[in-house]
Structure 1
Amino acid sequence: MTSVPSSMTAIAITEAGGPEVLKAETRPVPQLGPGEVLIRVAAAGVNRPDVLQRMGHYPPPPGASDLPGLEIAGVVAAIGPGGDPEMLGQSVCALVAGGGYAEYCVAPAGSCLPVPKGYSFAEAAALPETVFTVWHNLFERGWIQEGETVLVHGGTSGIGTTAIGLAKLFDIQVIVTCGSAAKCEAARALGADLAIDYKAEDFVEAVGKFTQGVGVHVVLDMVGGDYVPRNLACLAEDGRHVSIAFQRGMKAEVNVADLMRRRLTMTGSTLRARSQDFKAALADEIHGTLWPRLDEGAWKPAIDRIFPLAEAAAAHARMEAGDHVGKIVLAIE
């Protein structure tokens, strides 16, 4: 193993604002606490929460790094007090509460997963945030079952493409909405059974027609606002509505009588502020249930573009432009 330097290059948020506020800085390599590992980062995923943090709308939880970056892949370079020495030198990907846009990042050992067989570091870095989010919300909170149907908004986003991939692994039918015909075509190529251009077609009508009036069993919603009652209209009896973001607003009007009559369930979650014990348990479940399929090559995340770490601002600009299909990743030399 090479020695760990005392300083590193990191991308910091210098002030709240546009992509241009992301600047390279020299920072001390973070110190390790019990139960933590230091990862020499090879790649870091770019996610919508990073953009919101940069804009000043999503501060890191207490004790987390102020640097953006919630998912990384690389090699374990050091072990914290009491840690497992066998982890040293392992290639891992990890869910972190911040700090991913850097040459070194601290991760809880319980949130680390081995890089799946045949995966590049860039592909592995595209897994933790979206896979943990989709797994917890679609499979645990949404109770999706084999043979059921899910409606996913933002079908070509990182979350959307991951939801398509994981759903198809477990024989779940997937309907997505996208903002253009080209994106609909891309979503279908990734496995979506139906892709609806929401700018050209009413997705509620399209879902009703496709399901022959039955509706979908789960809606995975990152839009919120006025989409919520429309989402509920898409649900079958005993359907589940799972909220993971609210891009069109955090308030919605719901017909409670209809919810009662059709026995609908509304739930949702956030991931970043959850306890480390929860994240470790989630990682363990994902490792036991999903990872064997990834090791077999059953699915890989869709990668839109890989930017060098120094071009983090360009990566954020691409995400905000909304033209990407799949994950945007930063590569760290």
Structure 2
Amino acid sequence: MTKTMRMVDHRPGGSAECLRLIEVELPTPGAEDVLIKVAFAGVNRPDVLQRSGNYPPPPDASPFLGLEVSGEVVAVGEAVQGLNAGDMVCALTPGGGYAEYCCAPAAHCLPVPDGLSLAQAAALPENYFTVWTNLFERGHLTRGETLLVHGGSSGIGLTAIQLANQFGVRVLATAGSEDKLAACRAAGASVTINYREEDFVEVVRQQTKSAGVNMILDMVGGSYIQRNIDSLALEGRLAQIAFLEGSQVELNVMAIMLKRLTFTGSTLRARPKADKASIATALQTHVWPLLEEGRCLPIIHSTFPLDQASQAHHLMESSKHIGKIILEVAS
């Protein structure tokens, strides 16, 4: 095995043009980690935030970009059980995925689902971990309920629509153009809302006969937060996973009391390793069988070679994509 590898470096940070390839030594897996020869790496908005200096990694994480990969296990730590060199996996990583090799906790690795390509597998971890834990674990979303997904044409949005639809939930989704709304409908949204032309609060009121939706998955924040609260039904839940408009707002929270609402949310990267391992187990039990049946598949917008990571970030920042952006590492 080679002793060095190519990796995308973003330091000291800034615009997408700061991304460059460097040559570094291969990382060494810890006792509970595996070393993966990366085939593809997912590009996510937290990568853009980290690159620009607005999302520092946890102290025990890699300082480099890349939160999900797919590829071949080439080495395992001494305490690893159940994974061996030669296994094909996708993994939620602690960073460092924009590279030819990457370490990840073995407990955060999942087998590549039968029938999926390595490119598709690289599009799974960050979105599916995030959606599963926020909708079904924290949000207790159940069959027969109604869900509103903001940013429906994003990778996370389309994942949320598909999974909720498969588990018997009626989905409403917002997006900003007809092609994005069409993607939401194709994923299983029964009602789509063009946020540039329609007031989602009014559409929710009409569609639910003033009852409100049972749950909202929001990555916008800002002015949406009060409107989300106004759109929830009795015992409704709001899960906040990002803040495109900002996190500091003035709210009238009386409706939280009167409607007995739950306002929750989470970030994935900072959660304990045991939490992420538990999510991985739940996904393998409840979601991987769906993927192997050809359902709830990730939607990939475009793939860039590793040395074009800056172009991938420009596309992410433009918000013109529908679904996932992927880096091809192994040629």
Corresponding residue SS for 1:87 = coil
What residue identity is the alignment partner of 2:90?
Answer: C
Instruction: Name the Cα RMSD after superposition.
Output: 1.1
Partner of 2:102 in structure 1? 105
Contact 2:36-2:74 within 8 A present in 1 as well:
yes
Contact 2:230-2:255 within 8 A present in 1 as well:
no
What residue identity is the alignment partner of 1:311?
Answer: Q
Alignment of 1:118-267 (within 5 A): 118-267=115-264
Partner of 1:73 in structure 2? 70
CA shift digits 1:122-163 (9 cap, x unpaired) = 100000001000000011111100111111111111110111
Of 18, 21, 30, which aligns to 2:18?
Answer: 21
Q: Report the Cα distance in structure 1 between the residues aligned to 2:83 and 2:309, rounded to whole angstroms.
A: 33
Q: Report the Cα distance in structure 2 between the residues aligned to 1:132 and 1:188, rounded to whole angstroms.
A: 22
Corresponding residue SS for 1:88 = coil
Q: Report the Cα distance in structure 1 between the residues aligned to 2:8 and 2:254, rounded to whole angstroms.
A: 50
Contact 1:79-1:85 within 8 A present in 2 as well:
no
Task: Please say if 1:93 is aligned against 2:90.
Answer: yes
Q: Which consecutive residues of structure 1, in runs of 5 or more, have no partner in the other structure?
A: none
Q: Report the Cα distance in structure 2 between the residues aligned to 1:258 and 1:319, rounded to whole angstroms.
A: 35
State the shift of 1:86 in Å.
4.5
Q: Which runs of 4+ in 1 moved over 4 A?
A: none
State the shift of 1:261 in Å.
1.1
Q: Report the Cα distance in structure 2 between the residues aligned to 1:61 and 1:196, rounded to whole angstroms.
A: 36
Give the structure-2-normalised TM-score: 0.97
What residue identity is the alignment partner of 1:31?
Answer: T
Q: Report the Cα distance in structure 2 between the residues aligned to 1:130 and 1:40, rounded to whole angstroms.
A: 21
State the shift of 1:182 in Å.
2.4
Q: Report the Cα distance in structure 1 between the residues aligned to 2:267 and 2:73, rounded to whole angstroms.
A: 27
What residue identity is the alignment partner of 2:26?
Answer: V
Q: Report the Cα distance in structure 1 between the residues aligned to 2:250 and 2:202, rounded to whole angstroms.
A: 20
Contact 2:159-2:296 within 8 A present in 1 as well:
no
What residue identity is the alignment partner of 2:142?
Answer: Q
Q: Which consecutive residues of structure 2, in runs of 5 or more, have no partner in the other structure?
A: none
State the shift of 1:85 in Å.
6.8
Q: Report the Cα distance in structure 1 between the residues aligned to 2:127 and 2:144, rounded to whole angstroms.
A: 22
Q: Report the Cα distance in structure 2 between the residues aligned to 1:69 and 1:86, rounded to whole angstroms.
A: 22
Contact 1:208-1:214 within 8 A present in 2 as well:
yes
Q: Report the Cα distance in structure 1 between the residues aligned to 2:127 and 2:79, rounded to whole angstroms.
A: 30
Give the structure-1-normalised TM-score: 0.97
Contact 1:14-1:23 within 8 A present in 2 as well:
no
